[in-house]
Amino acid sequence: MGEVKTALGQDDSLPRTHQLAIQAAGQAMSGCTLPPDAVILGTTTGGILTTETLLAKGEKRPEYYQYHGLTSVCEEIARRHGCTGPALTVSTACSSSAAAIKIALEMLRRGEAVRVLAGGVDSLCRLTYFGFNSLQLVDPEGSRPLDKNRQGMSVAEGAAMLLLTVEKTDTIIAEVLGAGLSCDAYHAAAPHPQGEGAYQAMRAALNDAGLSPADIGYIALHGTGTLDNDLAEARAVNKLFDFAPPRLSSLKGAMGHSLGAAGAMAAVIAALIVSRDIVPANTRCQKPDPALCLTPLTTPLNQPVAAVLSNSFGFGGNNASLIITPPGRFTCPERPAASRAWTIIGSSCLTGAGNKDKTMAALRLDQPIAGALSLAEISADLPARAVRRLKRLPRIALALAAAAHDDSAASNPKAVFMGTGWGALSETYDFLKRLRETEEQFPSPTDFVGSVHNGPASQIAIRYNSTGANITTSGGDYSFEQALLSADLSAADSEQPILIIGADEGHPELSPLFDKSISHSQNHPNTLVDGGGALCLTKNSKARGTTISPAFYQSADKTNVIAALLRSLDGPEALRADYGLLLAGIPASCREQGEAQLARFTALSGFNAPIIDYRRLTGEFATASAVATVMAVDFLEKGTIPPSLAGQGRSSLKGKGVLLLGLGRFITAVRIKAP
């Protein structure tokens, strides 16, 4: 329990999280000779353990921080196993890997992949160890889930991967039959006291699998051993099972809580349960708490289990439940094909020029928009009470969400999807700085809670009581595109409004170390910029307006990737007929590569409409594509491109759409079309 003792490999250049993930991925891919079509990974730590050491030494060379970002773990796994499809990173605290499995499941169901490597990983680090200690959530005697005398969790590390496929082979171990996501929309760190979000996630998973509570033979509880978590989950279980619940236990008394990896680890164990007829005990629970009204297993059993319900819950009320069954035990329910296009009913952005109106006015006047607003400017339209303890990134995210929601005039959003390349840098920096300055005696609990990547999206959910899916993706320069792809997969059939946000903050100390594009920028060298964009979307059949849909996501290493992109867009002729503007995103760190890709695209497609290299306008930050998307919406609503941006090309967009193209290490495409 706690630290992984097994030797992880000889490559000391990689952070511990990466090494753990490599080991688990190698085991999952053992015996498979074909590469996965996608890799979807849940994690919260990335390379932070290495970063902590580097910052303590005062290291200022950016190349030493190349593996800090969460996305670097997923991309390393994809590279090693020859995956040229999406490498998507989910960060929803302790439900990260279970949410990643849900997205992988939907990708397979939609026919967008045949094989997906999905799972999670987290390593021990000072941020999480001292963070949970600062919240007084760590039991000094070790985690005792469901025990009357429990006092908290045990912080651990680990990795687990599953190779999921729709192929019928002789080596199938188990089936992921269904999955459900929800958000408490209650508190940044504490669960809903009645377990309402947990109940909704379990109910959604059962509905997704076409099962009833009576079909479940075992529940793999989240069961961290904290007073509030165990009680909330117990109330949710008792509400779902209005009869005596099936056999149940938490594994965290034996394994500790591996945070973002916990959901995938539970899923792997669930697969072993249904394939080997074993039921694990609730280790270290000596006196079950009578207030929970649950009877955990005290000794392991050998008996068949028809279906496992596996729970994973995280900070911000991010909940995920999985249903895992023996192969062929149940029939998968029929699902209607989902429409690809979302209708945009509201939009907003923040740049150095200000909000959407000020940004678009500056663009029309050929004025700069790159920069960073003050905290007062960012939160000018937000209630002071709502932001008094929030630092830069959550304020940006809340301001974007509020403006997009107000612009939509719609009911509160059901679900929230957010992309951020680097997460809450201010909270992370301040937590580690205080930890060093106080010689690890007085870490800040407030900064720890705010440092999680999904914190801003959870704040949005709390503001709007958004109890549906709440997903945060962190894919570097493609984080916003990953959020859009996740929404398209996870909320495909929802007619209720949802919010998509892409936002990053500029931090004077950390941003230049983490984001190589800042030092490579030609137009704004070493300038600190930030901001983002937000969309309010719906699939309500009555909605009319500009539509948006993800069209392509592949590694630049894929052979003939530009030709594959053109095929996904129905070929050069359709491309020229459908689009009157190309918004090209070329991160400065790979500008030479991106410009070559763009040149090949125009040569193969014959595209001769205006092309805007939008990062030269927005400046360099990971989710600049979110601002570009809002630019496209504004241009389409007005039917014209500002002459200063159209150059010598045609400025009218009548009857045309806008193509948002991401270039560099990955090639992405998003269709944005007028009604």
Q: At what angle do helices 227-240 and 196-209 cross, to 10 degrees?
A: 40
- Phi/psi of residue 413, nearest 5 degrees: -65, 145
Angle (nearest 5°) at CA 340 between 334 and 341: 140
- CA-to-CA dists, residue 167 to 369, 544, 611, angstroms: 49, 39, 41
Secondary structure (3-state) at 357: helix
3-state secondary structure labels for all residues of 8-50: CCCCCCCCHHHHHHHHHHHHHHCCCCCCCCEEEEECCCCCHHH
Burial class (CB in 10 A: 0-12, 13-18, 19+), 54: middle
Whether 453 is catalytic is: no
Whether 293 is catalytic is: no
Secondary structure (3-state) at 650: coil
8 A C-beta contact, residue 398 and residue 386? yes
Q: Which of 94, 285, 349, 536 is catalytic?
A: 94
Question: Using CA of residue 519, residue 521, residue 525, residue 528, what is the dihedral sign?
Answer: negative
Q: CA 633 to CA 548: how far, in whole Å?
A: 9
Q: Locate tokens 């973002």: which residue?
A: 260
Joined together, the tokens standing for residue 550 give: 């993800």
Q: Which of 18, 222, 453, 507 is catalytic?
A: 222
Q: Locate tokens 């939009």: which residue?
A: 347
Instruction: Give buried/exposed letters for 623-646 (b at 16+ CB in 10 A, else e).
Output: bbbbbbbbbbbbbbeeebbbeebb
Q: CA 623 to CA 566: how far, in whole Å?
A: 24
Q: CA 280 to CA 272: how far, in whole Å?
A: 10
Q: Which of 257, 405, 507, 524 is catalytic?
A: 257
Secondary structure (3-state) at 196: helix
- Phi/psi of residue 351, nearest 5 degrees: -135, -175
Contacts of 557 (CB under 8 A, 6+ apart): 79, 84
What is the dihedral angle through the alpha carbons of 438, 439, 445, 449, rounded to the nearest 10 degrees? 120
Q: CA 132 to CA 146: how far, in whole Å?
A: 19
Pick from 155, 103, 156: nearest CA to 483: 103
Backbone angle region of 526, left / alpha / beta, with phi > 0 → left and psi within -120 to 50 → alpha: left
* Count, residues in the chain: 675
Whether 524 is catalytic is: no
Pick from 44, 91, 98: nearest CA to 311: 98
Joined together, the tokens standing for residue 600 give: 């090949």
Q: CA 422 to CA 475: how far, in whole Å?
A: 9
Beta strand 247-250 with 611-613: parallel, antiparallel or unpaired?
unpaired
8 A C-beta contact, residue 181 and residue 197? no
Positions marked catalytic: 94, 222, 257
